[in-house]
Each structure stands twice: as C-alpha cells, then as structure tokens.
C-alpha cells in the first residue's frame, strides 16, 4: 500500500527486514509462513559506518557449506513464493515516525517505507546502542523486550562472532512468531 506524506510517496508494510543475506531471507520466509507481509532491503549503514565485518568462526565442520545450501534454498523459496526482496534497495536511514510513534520510517535508495516492525540482521551492538541513543531511547538491562516494544527485532546481530546457522534459523522463527502475534493483537484492537 502507498500513501503520500508531504510530497514523498511512501509505501507501507507490516515489517521491513534490513539485510538480504541468510538472516534476512530466513526472517522473510518465516514471516511469509506466518502470513505477515514484509519487504527485504539491503543492509543499513548506521552513522555512515558500514556494518562491521564479523569473524566467520563456525564451530561445526561443513558449516559454510551448510550455510550456502540453506541460503540457496531460501532464495528459491523467496522467488517461488514472490517474497518482496529488493536487493538493489539499500537502507540509508531508519527513524521513528514523529506523527505515529509506533511506526518506523525506512529511507532506502529506492524510496521510503513505513512499517510497524523492523528487523535488523547485521549491526554491531555498539552501533545499535548509539543508534537508539540518537533516537533518545535509553535501554536498561532488558534490551530485547524494550526493542520488541518499539517494534525493533534483531536476528544474527552481534559484535564479533557470526551466529551458527542453527542459531540464525531459530532466531528468525522466534522473531517471526513475535511479529505475527503483535500484528494479530493490533488487528484485534482495531476491530
């Protein structure tokens, strides 16, 4: 759905997934299975700094081959199920809509997206903390629940080590279920 806000055309979706790699496609696939619409765009550079390169220290032998095979399957799933994956659209800015605090504004190289939820798939914890501070948000000990209350979810995010493939798939499923539940609660509240 699109709408005009000021002079810009804005497209609305339930969830924007930032990151079109394994984590992003896993989340989009799980959201699709839950019946939640999403748009996948490429990575976000917070504060003009590209996401940190993480060490691919994988505990299991064959993990890289397994990861590659799962990524191939997810790409096929995305294609065959017409998931909205925009690999040419790079997220350039992420902010909360000042008119609707429960809505995110995601500026991309191809336009502006509005969403109730955002999933970040590659961001150092230090970048995330600076980003939240720039929004005036201070988060105490229960970071995950505070982020979820804002509609912000993390999959495969960490400072140095790359999560295992199994961890990413588990996180994608958990995040998708949480977003699906939140979406159903919002719909019920509007009914």
pLDDT at 47 over 60: no
Per-residue pLDDT, 8: 57
Helix H or strand E encompassing 182: helix 165-190
The residue whose two tokens read 């509240």 is: 189
User: Is-contact 150 69, C-beta < 8 A?
Assistant: no
pLDDT, one tens digit per residue, over 58-90 is: 445 556 677 788 888 888 888 888 899 998 998
Query: What domains sit in the chain, N to C, each tagged with a CATH number?
Result: 2-190 (3.50.50.60)
Strand partners, 106: 94, 113
pLDDT, one tens digit per residue, over 90-120 is: 898 888 888 887 899 999 989 999 999 999 9
- SS3 at position 124: coil
User: Is-contact 15 36, C-beta < 8 A?
Assistant: yes
Arithmetic mean of pLDDT, 142-158: 82
Average pLDDT score, the chain: 81
Helix H or strand E encompassing 24: helix 22-34
Per-residue pLDDT, 107: 92
Interatomic CA distance for residues 98 and 121, integer angstroms = 24
pLDDT bracket for residue 56 (50, 70, 90): very low
């Amino acid at each position: 759905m699109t709408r005009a806000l000021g002079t810009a055309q804005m497209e609305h979706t339930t969830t924007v997934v930032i990151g079109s790699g394994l984590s992003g496609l896993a989340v989009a696939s799980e959201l699709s299975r839950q019946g939640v619409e999403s748009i996948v765009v490429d990575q976000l550079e917070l504060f003009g700094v590209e996401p940190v390169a993480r060490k691919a220290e994988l505990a299991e032998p064959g993990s890289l081959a397994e990861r590659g095979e799962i990524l191939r399957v997810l790409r096929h799933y995305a294609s065959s199920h017409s998931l909205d994956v925009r690999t040419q659209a790079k997220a350039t800015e992420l902010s909360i809509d000042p008119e609707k605090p429960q809505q995110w504004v995601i500026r991309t190289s191809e336009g502006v997206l509005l969403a109730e939820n955002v999933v970040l798939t590659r961001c150092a914890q230090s970048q995330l903390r600076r980003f939240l501070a720039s929004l005036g948000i201070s988060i105490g000990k229960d970071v995950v629940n505070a982020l979820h209350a804002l509609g912000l979810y993390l999959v495969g995010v960490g400072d140095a080590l790359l999560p295992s493939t199994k961890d990413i798939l588990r996180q994608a499923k958990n995040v998708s279920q949480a977003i699906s539940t939140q979406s159903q609660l919002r719909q019920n509240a509007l009914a």
